[in-house]
Amino acid sequence: MPSEQYSIRVANDSLMFSAAHFITFDKGDCEPLHGHDYHVVAELAGPLGEKSYVIDFLAVQAALREILSTLDHRVLLPSQHPLIDVTSDSQEITVRFQELRWIFPLSNCQVLDIPNTTSEMLARWIGQQLLDKLRDCPKTPLQAVSIELRDGCGQSAVWQWSE
């Protein structure tokens, strides 16, 4: 028996942010602090609602812009990394990894509940934030969400969630 599936995809120039980060690798190496212009593409799947659409494009774009604004022009730091210590006071954040130490103004940072600031983990964090925001929308029984995070020419990470 044939079945139909529907999804929407949002990808435009306003769905981007610029941020600094660093990641650690398997052998305990840490790359230098550097930045990217990240671009986000979201795809959401689910049944058609009463108005014959999955979810309002504008609602998805607005939610994504709000999420991305919390990352834009920030230093992204992981709070769940086993070897990176992130501490803060009322004015600054201190980050330690092995013999390395960075001190940043508090307002310039975004500490994320992730183990490493890889593109994969950032895509997951964005996707989970989007799901949380869209759960507040009435009658949006989403079945799947995909977030693609492009961090450079020809390379991206994708996070997918499904019911």
Mean pLDDT of the chain: 93
DSSP state string for 68-135: HHTTTTEEEEESS-SSEEEEE-SSEEEEEETTEEEEEEGGGEEEESSSS--HHHHHHHHHHHHHHHHT
- Return the higher-pLDDT residue of 135 and 47: 47
Of 53, 51, 47, 63, the residue nearest 163 (C-alpha): 47
Place of tokens 């607005």: 62
Q: What is the pLDDT of residues 88-100, one digit of tens each?
A: 999 999 999 999 9
What domains can be seen in the chain, in order of their start residue?
Answer: 7-73+117-162 (3.30.479.10)
Compute CA distances 67 → 3, 4, 74, 106, 110, whole Å: 34, 31, 13, 19, 12
pTM of the model: 0.94
